Amino acid sequence: MTKPFLANSESYKNVSLGLPLTAANNDDSWQPPSGEFAFDLEQVGDDGFLLAIWFNKIPEKTIVWPANRNSLIQRGTKVKLMEDGRLVLNDRKGKQIWCADIARSRVAYAAMLDTENFVLARHYLVNLWESFGEPTDTLFPTQIFNRGSKLVAGYSRINRSTGRFRFTPQADGNLMLYTLAFSLDFDNSAYWSGQTKGNGFQLIFNQPGNIYLAAKNGSILKMFSSESPTTQECYHIAILEYNGAFRH
């Protein structure tokens, strides 16, 4: 996906406490100064809305991070950055569907960053919660994927609810791909291994757009992608596809 030309800009714009977004209000969205990405309630077919981050400057809006992937909500639903710092998605009856719950943590504002990371922060740019810390099926440049983290594929190309494959850097240092037991959230069988048991520490997607597995001392154990167009030229993502392939 080729990027449009953008002048230099700040890396964030503040979202104030108490500010809501409403599903189907086309004037709503929280964006970084560049406008390259947006955080909003986006309609998915005729089924409902996802609270999501998407690419905002390409012809087809491409969702890259859904919060409520298993619980679509209806028109008129609101998400609100509460005065106590929680980011709460309620349905039209007031039932909580999803929440970034860091109440009483002195959240001062939220921001959609130009790195594709949505954050809740206090003053002096200290992030208290971030979408990078709760990945779904996609990774982005500057994102670090720690031991115990996981990506879970979507169910199909269109349906972003949890599917049948999991990608994880295990606690033992091995990078693994698993099938998931049908309708249950536990690993069934492995179908790929990075062969790094005892050594792997973090999967890193760096700013230039390279993906590699690093040891604890920072050395590169396995390079998964390199020599691609830079992140200044193209948008980059790494996604665990619905068919179980991990693709940059």
Judge whether residue 6 has pLDDT over 50. no
The pLDDT assigned to 117 comes to: 94
Q: Do domains 14-132 and 138-247 have the same CATH topology?
A: yes
SS3 218: coil
Per-residue pLDDT reduced to its tens digit, 64-91:
999 999 989 888 888 888 888 889 998 8
* Low-confidence winner among 53-57, 59-63, 129-133 (lowest mean pLDDT): 59-63
Give the whole-angstrom CA distance, residue 149 versus residue 130: 14
Distance of CA 90 to CAs 22, 45, 51, 65, 121, Å?
Answer: 10, 20, 11, 18, 22
Q: Where are the domains of the chain?
A: 14-132, 138-247
Give the whole-angstrom CA distance, residue 177 versus residue 51: 27
Judge whether residue 227 has pLDDT over 70. yes
The pLDDT assigned to 184 comes to: 64
Mean pLDDT value across residues 122-146:
91
Mean pLDDT value across residues 154-158:
90
Q: What is the CATH number of domain 14-132?
A: 2.90.10.10
Return the residue matching tokens 């028109």.
75
User: Please, is 79 exposed, middle or buried when counting C-beta atoms within 10 Å of its C-beta (0-12, 13-18, 19+)?
Assistant: buried
| Reported confidence tier of residue 142, pLDDT bands at 50, 70, 90 | very high
Mean pLDDT, the chain, whole residue set: 86
Q: What is the CATH number of domain 138-247?
A: 2.90.10.10
The pLDDT assigned to 77 comes to: 85
The answer to whether 19 and 80 have CB atoms below 8 angstroms apart is yes
pTM: 0.87
